[in-house]
Amino acid sequence: MALPPLSRALTGGACLAVLAASGYGWALATAPAPGRTGTDVLVVGSDSRAGLTAEEKSRWHAGGTACRCADVVMVVHLSADGRRASVVSLPRDSYVPFAPRDDGAGPIAHSGKINAALRQGGPELLTRTVERATGLDIDHYLQARFKGFVQAVDALGGAPVCTKEPMRDKNSGIDLEPGKHHLDGAGALRYVRTRHSGHGDIDRVRRQQRLVAGIAGRHLAAGTLADPPRLEALAGEVAGGLRPGPRTSVADMLALGRQARHLRLRDVEFATVPLESISHPAGEWGSAVKWNDERARAMFRRLAADRTLAPGDERGPRGGFDWTGRVAPGDRMDCD
């Protein structure tokens, strides 16, 4: 049985956030203009199987039909001084008001699951919908398809991960013993797609963030950002797996990478938007994720003001999975 679409996976999104949060320039931009309070990048992983061969679909357990949805949605904020980064995950089933759009018969305004905005109106509608939901001004957009994630992780030299429990899932193909592992792109894909745990997309979001922290930490420690030739070579390799926005160039990527050359993993913070419910009844949309509006607004106001995020708590049903907006520095991301 094939896994559901990549809406339940990391795909390219988390790995893209690695580079954006680490300043490798997947953020698609030059340094912010004077007076700006940092740069906000919308990083998206879609469920597109475009370019996959039958052998790749079989080997990567990528069967099923794509819905052309946004499986991963992350907002990456790089501070104006380039010394801090925040990665905020927006669960793909988040029920939010969509930005108005015109289908030719007049404006349409409705609410729905945030991942469907990509299918209904492409990157432009998804970007405006995220802006409406968060109150942020998104500066840049970056998207990766299914194959792009594997290519990007391989270009980055693989992904270090660790797990406290065995991870075995015949649907994703994951088979890991407890301990530390170094995964190639295909292995990383299995890791982020697994449904072996019981808390659905909320668990997967945190796994995405841990993968991002692991890759970013290795490259930050190696001083890649401070080495222009290495940065340029890496940006060129990774860019092949991405679908950047219309204003993107390799020069843009390198400029942001240079801006973030002093970034340290402990200054990259990861968070999930604070949630009120993961089983909110949403009519024709079925069960959805509902944000805690008051806490979510407070979180995004801090990002808009170029401030660090307030530490969150770890309370939650059934042992405390991350649904309350917990904020964790990159160097304190625990094993699963």
> Residue 25 above 60 pLDDT?
no
> How many CB atoms within 10 Å of residue 292?
17
Q: Can you give the pLDDT at residue 2? A: 35
Distance CA 257, CA 264 (A): 13
Strand, helix or coil for residue 233: helix
Token code pair at residue 126: 């998804």
pLDDT number for residue 299: 92
Threshold 0.75, pTM exceeds: yes
C-alpha 103/C-alpha 107 separation (Å) is 7
- 297 with 96: CB under 8 angstroms? no
Whole-number pLDDT of residue 313:
53
- 6-158+213-331, superfamily in CATH? LCP protein (3.40.630.190)
The residues facing 169 across adjacent strands are 174
Domain range summary for the chain, segments of one domain joined by +:
6-158+213-331
Token pair recorded at residue 179: 């301990």
Tens-place pLDDT, residues 73-89:
999 898 988 888 999 99
Give the pLDDT of residue 193. 75
Beta bridge mates, 112 = 96
pLDDT digits 0-9 by tens, 98-143: 998 876 655 577 899 999 998 888 888 999 999 999 999 988 787 7
d(CA 163, CA 51): 32
pLDDT above 80: residue 223: no
**For residues 203 and 190, what is the distance between their CA atoms, to the nearest angstrom?**
14
Please compute the mean of the pLDDT values over residues 152-162 and round it to a whole number. Answer: 87
The span from the CA of 150 to the CA of 20, in Å, is: 17
| pLDDT confidence of residue 14 | 35
What digits encode the pLDDT tens for the residues 229-267?
776 677 666 666 666 555 455 565 566 666 677 788 889
- 100 or 147: whose pLDDT is higher? 100
